Amino acid sequence: MSELVLAVNSGSSSLKFGLFAEKNGDETAVLQGEAEDIGRPGGRLWLKDAQGRALLDEGLPLSTQSHALHEAVKALRRFAPGARLAAVGHRVVHGGPHLREHQRITPRLVQTLESAVHFAPVHIPASVALIQATEKLLPEVPQFACFDTAFHRTMPEITARFALPEELSGKGVQRYGFHGLSYESVLHQLGAEVPARVVCAHLGSGASLVALRDGKSIDTSMGMTPTGGIPMSTRTGDLDPGVLLFLMRTEHMDADSLETLLNHESGLKAISDGETDMRQLHIRAENGDAKAALAINIFALAVRKYIGAYAAELGGLDLLIFTGGIGEHSQYVREGICTGLEFLGILPAASGQYSKVKIMPSEEELQIARHCRRLLQTSPSF
């Protein structure tokens, strides 16, 4: 077996991870797991082997991402004794304007990342803390940063530029786009079968869409931060800027309180009176809960509007792809989105399926491992 790559994918309250080996020119999973409900009651750590068999599944209080990483590494050492690590790869949501390529982590990169904290104050500090925790746990193993924004560097200025003064654009106030590793993984699965005009919807707790022309990002729903685009579990999505001015003037809200409102107290949670899980919203809606139904309908309509807009931008639509937890597993939501898209040739086909539609898994950890293996071969040794 080749030396292994450890891929680490940090979420707001979860930490996905996997060990990958090179086989037949691609990466293959050896072990995969997740730490769930970090910082909440009911923390859990699970681990599965390459065949999907459960090796570990236990309740475990997990106070921080760094604590979760420590427990994950301990579990990996237990079930893969003697495994040699070639690299650790991190999904980094945002690197600001100066970090737009997957690359080896150095002290200078960490400094640049810290200087960009105002671009993603929720995500960047967590990424830095996890990188530093990895350095302590695995000091001899090189680390690599895989940026979600890297995929969207192909966007033209017409879609990346906001209608703001040029000096602000020069300071990095622009559309970056996110979920790039997920979109990369979907394209890798398609291989040579990528049509010219594709819309991909990554629908999960965080959600976005991308317009792909010949496999390249030309537009995407999230903007300078992952708060923009469609409404999400706890995020507003796109919002009239006047709303923020109104809240500042009448509710005397500052940047921190707006941050909390926009990223943690809005979206499906706000509309449904507290629920963020789409599965639970579906159950409530089926039982006649009007607020749950409204939350789902607002979400589905927002996705449908973006699909229509991107089809116009692309000059038509050859393929619509759903990925992410909701996109892959909620037929109810997919039907709500696709109803009304008949004019694009998206028509009911077999049970629960639609023509011109694919449902594909998001394989972010696998994509991180691919980048790490490539960068190991091209990065100078220190």
Beta-carbon count within 10 A of 251 CB: 10
What does the alpha-carbon distance between residue 343 and residue 341 come to, in Å, rounded to a whole number?
5
Nearest to 133 by CA among 204, 260, 38: 38
DSSP label of 3: P
CB 109 within 8 A of CB 163: no
- In a 3-state reduction of DSSP, which class is residue 220? strand
Catalytic residue numbers, as ranges? 148
CB 232 within 8 A of CB 183: no
- In a 3-state reduction of DSSP, which class is residue 310? helix
Alpha-carbon Rg of the chain, whole angstroms? 21
What does the alpha-carbon distance between residue 168 and residue 321 come to, in Å, rounded to a whole number?
34
Tokens coding 62: 């997990």
Tokens coding 108: 């200078």
CB 175 within 8 A of CB 160: yes
CB 114 within 8 A of CB 91: no
User: Rounded to the nearest 5°, which phi and psi values hold at 339?
Assistant: -65, 115
Tokens coding 25: 């020119």
CB 74 within 8 A of CB 112: no
Report the sign of the C-alpha dihedral through residues 313, 319, 325, 329, in that order. Answer: positive
